[in-house]
């Protein structure tokens, strides 16, 4: 009897011991590793650190079950090959801005920034409580990519110039780094838009390869040292009034996740979208004070006549782009309808308050 009891006890202990030994192996197997490629220089303030924050949030919120490693521009793929890398599955995630992918779809540009269009607050309203996010997903679906808003810079600056802009004619022949729809507007004004990743801007401006550049705003522009490469700093950022940055997610990789991890990825993007905007709002003026007071930057407002002309050309460009294909027209119609609606509310709320503050 004692022998039988010993055998039973030993057998039970063996089962328990076996489960204890096997548990870490099962847990280790359930861990998922993702790569995130970005269009930004590694750890660049605001943009690059925003991508880092997204990766950390996903990793922490999942308890390490989904670990995301970030690769800056050129570390794994060049800056402008991020979309293709995610589409192919070379990386499971990307972080960038949708106007870089107009070669894939003209409609993509509307989800980043439209000249004289929606502000950051209005853009988020269209995406989350209008048709914006649904249309964005529809635009990227043929490429096997899921988009998500994952950052916003707020209103940007018009940019850095090595020539004064006093009249519209001063834009004629101007070689300027400016992406998306804003670049098309500059082209119609007689300038030459140039597409450059962030890491190449300073050298191009310093050597005279370009005459001007827009980047983001004081916080990022100071970090790049653009005040050392151009004389004049113009505002406002007519071309990017509230630029949405995006997370790109490989659809197959996302669908393979359990539901709770899918929810973590989606909600981490929302957190980063809000956090980045608040960071720029907090830091831009401090950086602008440094640029003006310490580095003696010549800060100027674009003349009203120049802005009026750019606004006219912007409407022409946006309408022409919208007519190129059915998907772009569909996105434009939704964007335009929401813009008219929300502008009326902004006029009696935000704008009215700012005028009397």
- pLDDT tens, position by position, for the chain (357 residues)? 444 454 444 444 443 333 333 333 334 447 999 999 999 999 999 999 999 999 999 999 999 999 999 999 999 999 999 999 999 999 999 999 999 999 999 999 999 999 999 999 999 999 999 999 999 999 999 999 999 999 999 999 999 999 999 999 999 999 999 999 999 999 999 999 999 999 999 999 999 999 999 999 999 999 999 999 999 999 999 999 999 999 999 999 999 999 999 999 999 999 999 999 999 999 999 999 999 999 999 999 999 999 999 999 999 999 999 999 999 999 999 999 999 999 999 999 999 999 999
User: Cα–Cα distance between 178 and 211 in angstroms, integer?
Assistant: 11
- Closest to 234 (Cα-Cα) out of 305, 164, 308: 164
For residue 7, CA distances in Å to 3, 16, 64, 274 come to 6, 14, 40, 62
Where does residue 251 rank: exposed (0-12), middle (13-18), buried (19+ CB within 10 A)?
middle
User: Cα–Cα distance between 20 and 300 in angstroms, integer?
Assistant: 69
CATH number at residue 256: 3.40.190.170
Q: Is 342 helix (H, G, I), strand (E, B) or coil?
A: helix
Residue 44 pLDDT? 94
Residue 343 pLDDT? 96
Examine residue 136 and state whether it is found in any structural domain, yes or no. Answer: yes
First to last CA, the chain: 90
For 230, other C-beta atoms within 10 Å of its C-beta total: 23
User: Cα–Cα distance between 310 and 306 in angstroms, integer?
Assistant: 6
Structure tokens at 131: 């048709």
Tokens 């794994």 -> residue: 76
Examine residue 351 and state whether it is found in any structural domain, yes or no. Answer: no
- The set of residues, in sequence order, having a beta carbon less than 8 Å from that of 185 and lying 6+ positions away, is 115, 239, 310, 313, 314, 317
Examine residue 182 and state whether it is found in any structural domain, yes or no. Answer: no
Per the structure, how many domains does the chain have? 1
Examine residue 269 and state whether it is found in any structural domain, yes or no. Answer: yes
CB 112 within 8 A of CB 244: yes
The edge-to-edge listing of strands for the beta sheet with 66-71 is 66-71, 32-38, 93-96, 244-250, 145-152
Q: What is the sign of the dihedral through the CA atoms of 174, 176, 215 and 161? A: negative
Residue 141 pLDDT? 98
Residue 27 pLDDT? 42
Q: Please spell the DSSP secondary structure of 158-172, one letter per residue.
A: -EEESS---SGGGGT
Examine residue 45 and state whether it is found in any structural domain, yes or no. Answer: yes
Domain hosting residue 99, numbered range: 32-153+242-281
Examine residue 319 and state whether it is found in any structural domain, yes or no. Answer: no
Residue 30 pLDDT? 72
Structure tokens at 121: 């607050």
For residue 286, CA distances in Å to 78, 156, 221, 293 come to 32, 15, 12, 11
Examine residue 273 and state whether it is found in any structural domain, yes or no. Answer: yes
Structure tokens at 115: 């000249």
Cα dihedral 208, 209, 211, 214, rounded to 10, equals -120
Residue 42 pLDDT? 92
Residue 298 pLDDT? 98
Examine residue 293 and state whether it is found in any structural domain, yes or no. Answer: no
């Amino acid at each position: 009897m004692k022998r039988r009891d010993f055998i039973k006890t030993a057998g039970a202990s063996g089962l328990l011991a076996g489960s204890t030994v096997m548990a870490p192996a099962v847990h280790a197997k359930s861990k998922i590793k993702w790569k995130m490629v970005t269009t930004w220089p590694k750890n660049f303030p605001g943009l690059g650190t925003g991508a880092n924050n997204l990766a950390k949030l996903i990793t922490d919120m999942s308890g390490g079950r989904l670990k995301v490693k970030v690769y800056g521009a050129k570390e794994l793929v060049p800056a402008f090959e991020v979309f293709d890398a995610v589409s192919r599955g070379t990386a499971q995630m990307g972080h960038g801005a949708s106007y870089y992918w107009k070669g894939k779809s003209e409609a993509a540009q509307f989800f980043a920034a439209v000249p004289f269009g929606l502000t950051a607050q209005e853009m988020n309203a269209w995406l989350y409580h209008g048709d914006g996010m649904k249309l964005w997903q529809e635009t990227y679906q043929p490429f096997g990519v899921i988009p998500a808003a994952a950052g916003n810079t707020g209103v940007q600056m018009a940019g850095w110039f090595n020539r004064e802009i006093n009249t519209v004619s001063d834009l004629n022949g101007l070689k300027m780094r400016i992406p998306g729809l804003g670049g098309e507007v500059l082209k119609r004004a007689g300038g030459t838009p140039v597409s450059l990743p962030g890491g190449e801007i300073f050298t191009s401006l310093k050597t005279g390869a370009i005459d001007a550049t827009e980047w983001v705003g004081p916080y990022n522009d100071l970090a790049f040292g653009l005040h050392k490469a151009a004389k004049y700093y113009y505002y406002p950022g007519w071309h990017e009034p509230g630029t949405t940055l995006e997370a790109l997610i490989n659809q197959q990789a996302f669908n393979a996740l359990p539901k709770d991890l899918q929810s973590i990825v989606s909600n981490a993007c929302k957190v980063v979208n809000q956090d980045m905007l608040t960071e720029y709002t907090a830091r831009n003026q401090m950086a602008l004070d440094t640029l003006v007071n310490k580095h003696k930057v010549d800060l100027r407002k674009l003349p009203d006549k120049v802005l009026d002309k750019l606004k006219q050309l912007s409407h022409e460009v946006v309408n022409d782009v919208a007519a190129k294909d059915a998907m772009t027209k569909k996105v434009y119609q939704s964007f335009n309808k929401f813009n008219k609606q929300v502008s009326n509310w902004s006029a009696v709320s935000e704008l009215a308050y700012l005028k009397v503050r």
